[in-house]
Structure formats: structure tokens, C-alpha cells
Amino acid sequence: MRKDFLWGGATAANQYEGGYREGGRGLSINDVERGACYGKTRQIDDSVLDGVYYPSHTAVDFYHRYKEDIALFKEMGFRCFRLSISWSRIFPNGDETEPNEEGLAFYDRVFDELRKNNIEPVVTLSHYETPLYLVQKYGSWRNRKLVGFFLHYCETVFERYKDKVKYWMTFNEINATLASPRPWHQAGIVYSDSEDRWQTAFQASHHMLVASAAAVAAGHRINPEFQIGCMLLYPQTYAATCAPEDQIARHDKMRFTYYYGDVQVRGRYTNTCRDLWKKYNACPAMEPGDEEILKNGTVDYIGFSYYFSSIEGKGLEQVEGNIFAGGRNPLLESTQWGWQIDPLGLRLTLNELYDRYQIPLFIVENGMGAVDQIASDGKIHDDYRIDYLRRHIQAMKDAVEIDGVDLMGYTPWGCIDLISASTGEMKKRYGFIYVDKDDTGAGTLNRMKKDSFFWYQKVIATNGEDLA
Ligand code: BGP
């Protein structure tokens, strides 16, 4: 692997930060999403209700414990750390002209602490964190006005942190907007019965794509050294059989991802995009100048998440996954949450993305959610996690060293235990660092190193050579 390979870990404010009403922060869409103790599907309330547990409110309290956590990341040898800025900490409602100084000062402290420890921040501008007020007053990303609000937010943080942050990403898993069963997460949208779901999804996506491109151009103007990426969820899929129809079904599914990749990397809607409009009888309204904005705001790299693969065909048993579910592959094993484990699928993903787009890639999420038990010796022996990561890192190395893919870095998801996005659970853990908290919110929030902590430390120290 290259000498400057960005080994690290990934988090997001809505699942990690907490401090939801501190420092002048406003409410964000995840602050009204209930936790796992209320059932499997996360319920969305109109406002914060008394006596209800909302996981994002405290999350795992990075807000107060950032120094302790960054010291642990340093001990593991992190060269980078992915986090997101909570938009409503900077603009509490989202439509203000002036930012909230206390919110800006918080991230100053975090970025300074990272720099002091030689850890490069990798910052997502919007990771499921639209301010709630923008949803209630403007209808969220349905409304064109959000483009201006988002751009103002981005310009504010780009200016403020231009000497502290180099790596940015605009929207986390932007492709979840079109096909997600939980559009609230991504775009703060709940479809009404009277609206055309597809038209709304394409329109909201257009606003997000224009906002992303305008932000990329602004960032490059503010600091030409900035590296600004998109972030795609890669739902690796195989045809269920060798029937050509199954291969076409696979191709159709992947187009939901390329829809966004094409616009963000190539700077225009391609035939892939137009075909989807035709298929769903919908087309986003554009303003004069939009095409120019898309053309001038192409990204420097592709960040993506990869967890599992599935299959596509007729009459298949469906399995779980984070956003895009798929068919069960009889040849693969699954995690306790039913996500199919497929390291080779990561190698294929890296090749497919690089072949199609020919710009650097960055694996900004990968990992396995599992229940961890504290053993009688007081430690957590998470060999299942080590095994999953070892096999994925090997596949990643093969893609780079044998296939020639240009890869910038690797940040496993939830490097410290945090709240699950899809279920709001705490017992579904991804971390190298254990956090004492349960699904009802009880626990000391104390941190503890798992076996995987020491394993990953060695992986980084040998630049990926020693995976044993
Ligand atoms: C991705 C999200 C992350 C993260 C991850 C794991 O889709 O970008 O925020 O949560 O999936 O999913 P979960 O937390 O549901 O296990």
C-alpha cells in the first residue's frame, strides 16, 4: 500500500456526537427518531416528546469526550479520522444568515486536537443531519431553497476550517435518496399519499446534486488544495442465475447508484440517468444555469461504503442490509443482522468503480455489526470482527496491488461503538473501542479496548502487511 495511505476510522455526528441541545445547537432530523427499545422500525415524532428515549441526544458523547477518544485513535495509529459536522450546530434552524459561533468553536477544538495528534480529519458535510426546521418549514430537499442554505453552510465551514481540514465529502450515501425505504434518514422526507414518490425523489436528488456541485466549486475557490469527494453506498449485487434476464435485473439495480456517481464525477446527467427518468415517468425541474453548476462541481475522489452483497433475480428470499435489501445468496454467510459477508465483493466493487470513473477511491465505511460480550477476564475477544476486517483488507490490497486500483484510504465504520443508523440500537457494535451503553440509553459511557483494537494497531503500524 502507498506510504501515505489514510488508515483510520469513521463516525457521524448523529450517531456519535450527542450534546444535542448544548452550545446553541438546533434540532436535526435524527433528534426525533426513536431508539431500538421502541421496536425494530424507528418511529419518527413531530417534535421531541417527554419521556421518550432518542438515541442521538447523547449518542456516545463525543461532544464531551473528544479528547479521550482522539487519544485512543492516536494510540491505534490512525492517520485520519472521519467525522461529520452537525449542520444544526452551525445553523440551528438552517436558514439563518449568521452562524452559531459556539458550534463553530466546538469543531475548532476537535480539529485542533486531531492536528495535534497528527490525525487528518475527513469531514462529511451532511450525514443524515438536515436541520429539522428546514423539513418543517420548507419541506426539506423537495424545496429548491435548501440549495442556498446548504451552500451557505458549506461556505461558512470551508472558510472557517480552510487551514485545518483538507478532505471533505458532501452528502453521505447520496444514492440512498432515490431508492431508500427510509428517505427520512437521507433527505428528511416522508412521502405523502398524494405525491408522486418518484417525482419527489428525483427532484430532491436534483437539488442535492446541484447543492453538492456548488459546494465543491466553492470549496475549490476557497482553498484549491481541498480534496472534496462524493459518498456513495455501493450495493454490490450479483445475478441470481446465468439467465441474461437476471444480469439485466442486476444492471437495473446498480443504475440507482450510477445515477449519482455519473452526475458527481462526470458533471452531467447521462443516458443512465435519463433512462431512469423514463422508466419511472418522472423528470426533475431544472433552473437555467444548473447544467453549468453540475459541470463545474465535479468531485476529486469517490468515497463509498461497502458492507455486504446480495443477488438479483426472480422470486428470491430477501435478506437484510443497511438501505438496499436484496436476495439471499446461498453461498455466503451472514452477520447476526443478516448482512451477507463478501470480501471478494469489495475487490469487485473497487474495480467496477475505478473502471467506470477513473478517479481515486476512498473506502470510508466497511465493517460488521455484532453483539460483543465481556468475557470472564474482563476483556472483549472479538475475533469475528478481526476475521471480517482481515478478509476485507486482504481483498482491498489485492484490488490495489494486483488490479491497480487507485485507493486513498480505508476508514472502517463505527471505529468506536455508536448508535446504529438503521435500527437505533447500541447492541449492534462495530467498534475497536467498546462503549458502555445499552439500547435503553443506560450505561457509564466508559470506553474499553477490544482485541480488535490491538490487531488494527498492528495492521496500521505495518501499513497493512501484517494481517495475522
Ligand atoms: C451506513 C451509514 C452509517 C452506518 C452504517 C451501518 O449506511 O452511512 O451511518 O450506520 O451504514 O449501518 P447500521 O448503523 O444500520 O448498522
157 lines ligand 1 (CB under 6 A): no
Closest ligand 1 atom to residue 128 Cα is 9
**Marked catalytic residue, from 33, 120, 129, 365:** 365
CA angle 198, 200, 203 (to 5 degrees): 105
DSSP 32: G
Residue 1 placed within a domain: no
**Hey, which of 42, 385, 413 would you mutate to test ligand 1's pocket, going by the most ligand atoms within 8 Å of its Cβ?**
413
- Residue-range definition of the domain harbouring residue 88: 6-461
- pLDDT of 449 reads 98
Residue 468 placed within a domain: no
421 lines ligand 1 (CB under 6 A): yes
- The C-alpha atoms of residue 455 and residue 435 are separated, in whole angstroms, by 18
Using the mean position of ligand 1's atoms as its centre, give its distance from the Cα of residue 422 in Å.
6
Could you tell me which of 196, 377, 181 has the C-alpha nearest to residue 281? Answer: 196
- pLDDT of 183 reads 79
Residue nearest to ligand 1 atom 5, measured at CA: 421
Residue 466 placed within a domain: no
413 lines ligand 1 (CB under 6 A): yes
369 lines ligand 1 (CB under 6 A): yes
Give me the number of domains the chain comprises: 1
Residue 223 placed within a domain: yes
305 lines ligand 1 (CB under 6 A): yes
Is-contact 213 293, C-beta < 8 A?
Answer: yes
What is the b/e burial string over 378-401, where b = at least 16 CB atoms within 10 angstroms of the residue's CB?
Answer: eebebebbbebbbbbbbbbbbbbe
- pLDDT of 302 reads 99
420 lines ligand 1 (CB under 6 A): yes
Residue 233 placed within a domain: yes
What is the b/e burial string over 227-242, where b = at least 16 CB atoms within 10 angstroms of the residue's CB?
Answer: bbbbbbbbbbbbbbee
Is-contact 345 353, C-beta < 8 A?
Answer: no
- pLDDT of 40 reads 66
Q: What is the dihedral of CA 412, 459, 66, 105, to 10 degrees?
A: -80
14 lines ligand 1 (CB under 6 A): no
Using the mean position of ligand 1's atoms as its centre, give its distance from the Cα of residue 148 in Å.
28
124 lines ligand 1 (CB under 6 A): no
Using the mean position of ligand 1's atoms as its centre, give its distance from the Cα of residue 445 in Å.
20
The backbone torsions φ and ψ at residue 267, rounded to the nearest 5 degrees and listed phi first, read 80, 20
Residue nearest to ligand 1 atom 3, measured at CA: 421
- Residue 3's Cβ-count burial label (10 Å; 0-12, 13-18, 19+) is exposed
Q: What is the pLDDT along the chain (468 residues), one digit of tens a residue?
A: 999 999 999 999 999 999 999 999 999 999 999 988 877 678 899 999 999 999 999 999 999 999 999 999 999 999 999 999 999 999 999 999 999 999 999 999 999 999 999 999 999 999 999 999 999 999 999 999 999 999 999 999 999 999 999 999 999 999 999 877 677 878 888 889 999 999 999 999 999 999 999 999 999 999 999 999 999 999 999 999 999 999 999 999 999 999 999 999 999 999 999 999 999 999 999 999 999 999 999 999 999 999 999 999 999 999 988 777 799 999 999 999 999 999 999 999 999 999 999 999 999 999 999 999 999 999 999 999 999 999 999 999 999 999 999 999 999 999 999 999 988 999 999 999 999 999 999 999 999 999 999 999 999 999 999 999
Is-contact 56 29, C-beta < 8 A?
Answer: no
Residue nearest to ligand 1 atom 7, measured at CA: 322
Residue nearest to ligand 1 atom 14, measured at CA: 420
DSSP bridge partners of 237? 310
Residue 467 placed within a domain: no
Could you tell me which of 66, 56, 64, 113 has the C-alpha nearest to residue 86? Answer: 56
Residue 338 placed within a domain: yes
Q: Quick one: which H or E segment has residue 151?
A: helix 145-160
Residue 51 C-alpha cell reads as 419521556
DSSP 127: S
Residue nearest to ligand 1 atom 9, measured at CA: 421
> How far apart, in Å, are the Cα atoms of 446 and each of 58, 69, 182, 425, 451?
13, 11, 31, 17, 17
- pLDDT of 20 reads 97
- Residue 463's Cβ-count burial label (10 Å; 0-12, 13-18, 19+) is middle
CATH number at 304 reads: 3.20.20.80
Q: What is the dihedral of CA 264, 268, 271, 274, to 10 degrees?
A: 90
Collapse the DSSP code of 337 into the 3-class scheme (helix H, G, I; strand E, B; otherwise coil) and give the result: coil
- The C-alpha atoms of residue 326 and residue 339 are separated, in whole angstroms, by 10
Edge-to-edge strands, sheet with 237-239: 237-239, 310-312, 326-327, 318-319
**Hey, which of 322, 324, 341 would you mutate to test ligand 1's pocket, going by the most ligand atoms within 8 Å of its Cβ?**
322
> How far apart, in Å, are the Cα atoms of 286 and each of 176, 202, 209, 394?
21, 11, 11, 44
308 lines ligand 1 (CB under 6 A): no
- The C-alpha atoms of residue 303 and residue 334 are separated, in whole angstroms, by 25
Using the mean position of ligand 1's atoms as its centre, give its distance from the Cα of residue 377 in Å.
31
Q: At what angle do helices 451-461 and 383-401 cross, to 10 degrees?
A: 20
**Displacement of CA 378 from its chain's centroid (Å):** 32
Residue 443 C-alpha cell reads as 450505561
172 lines ligand 1 (CB under 6 A): yes
Collapse the DSSP code of 124 into the 3-class scheme (helix H, G, I; strand E, B; otherwise coil) and give the result: strand
Using the mean position of ligand 1's atoms as its centre, give its distance from the Cα of residue 115 in Å.
27
- pLDDT of 81 reads 99
Query: Which residue shows C-alpha cell 470472564?
Result: 376
Residue nearest to ligand 1 atom 16, measured at CA: 420
- pLDDT of 200 reads 95
Residue 174 placed within a domain: yes
- Residue 365: active-site member: yes
Residue 150 C-alpha cell reads as 446548504
Could you tell me which of 53, 58, 79, 70 has the C-alpha nearest to residue 13? Answer: 58
